Amino acid sequence: MTSLKFADLAARIERFPIAGSFTISRGAKTEAVTVVAEVSRDGLTGRGECVPYPRYGETPETPEATLAAIQAMQQALADGLTRQALQAAMPPGAARNALDCALIDLEAKSAGLRAWNLLNRPTPGERISAYTISLGTPEAMAAATAKAAHRPLLKIKLGGDGDPERIAAVRKAAPESELIVDANEAWTEANLEHNLAACAAAGVTLVEQPLPSGKDEALARIRRPLAVCADESVHDRSSLAPLRERYDAVNIKLDKTGGLTEALAMADAAQALGFEIMIGCMVATSLSMAPAMLITPQARFVDLDGPLLLARDRDHGLRYDGSLVYPPDSSLWG
């Protein structure tokens, strides 16, 4: 009988330079700072990666505090803490995500199965991923879009004032691409309908989180001319039901849900409530994207372009062929 004892937990902070910079309404950054957890047993090691993000209101919210939260689970894991028990032992957020994904990876390796078979989920196939255009002036965004106009799905970061001009310039630079927009809470009730109309005129398919979380009641009072997706307003299953009148879709991110275990349950619950699903990511390496691929069979939109925004990915990273992203090899995860 295989022991439930875990021999070792290792965790560390890793930094990966971004190709250029990544800019949204809340600011710009030039590197991705990730926290990696490794859980080992009987000569096998499972890995998980997370990116703490202060805007999601989680505790802890810095890489150093997230690292400490993971390391604090050493004794519990040594005492046999299971992935199922982990859900109650830690709050949702990045730290639990890294451990949850590491435990799934280890379970799959121990059972000699791929993670989707272990979890009785559909086998993921290749999917078109969105490619992100950072926030900038209309001219700068049009120039960046022109270089990516061959991609079938573009995600456009907007930022409030001047967004109608930005999206019009982007559409002109990429007349054939499907466009989705992420406002990152930068719009107001005063410009909401005007900006939505501008996006509809540009043929945008979906707008993500136009209003601040907790101040998005106006979405239930207006006629929405295109689909609106919750990101900062939705975290795990418990936050779904109150959003039904305001949103048409939800963005599931493993760093918000606290891991793949909750993300899969959330995807099932969201579908049952009639939401379309986007599977999203932070700017991170393929180790963060790999578990998220298990959500893609249920997703209308796949936004797993994090590694494409980096100057370099980790070894054995996901295969990207243009905008197509493929399921991970077992050498990476799962």
For CA atoms 134, 146, 160, 257, the dihedral sign is: negative
* Helix-strand-coil split of the chain, %, nearest 5: 35, 25, 40
Which H or E run contains 116?
helix 115-118
Active-site annotation holds for 109: no
From the CB of residue 118, how many other CB atoms can be counted at a distance below 10 Å?
A: 17
Q: How confident is the model at residue 23 (pLDDT cuts 50, 70, 90)?
A: low
Domains of the chain: 8-118 (3.30.390.10), 127-325 (3.20.20.120)
* Alpha-carbon distances, residue 303 vs 54, 138, 180, 250, 310 (angstroms): 20, 23, 10, 12, 15
Q: Which of 29, 109, 155, 157 is catalytic?
A: 157
- Contact at 8 Å (CB) between 243 and 234? yes
pLDDT digits (tens, 9 = 90+) for 151-169: 999 999 999 889 999 999 9
Q: Compare 97 and 27 and report the one with higher pLDDT.
A: 97
pTM of the model: 0.92
Q: What average pLDDT score do residues 202-209 get?
A: 98
Q: How far is CA 73 from CA 69, 165, 261, in A?
A: 7, 49, 18
Q: What are the tens digits of pLDDT across the range 111-164?
A: 999 999 999 999 999 999 999 999 999 999 999 999 999 999 999 999 988 999
Choose the catalytic residue: 5, 155, 172, 253.
253
Does the annotation mark 157 as catalytic?
A: yes
The C-alpha atoms of residue 182 and residue 209 are separated, in whole angstroms, by 6
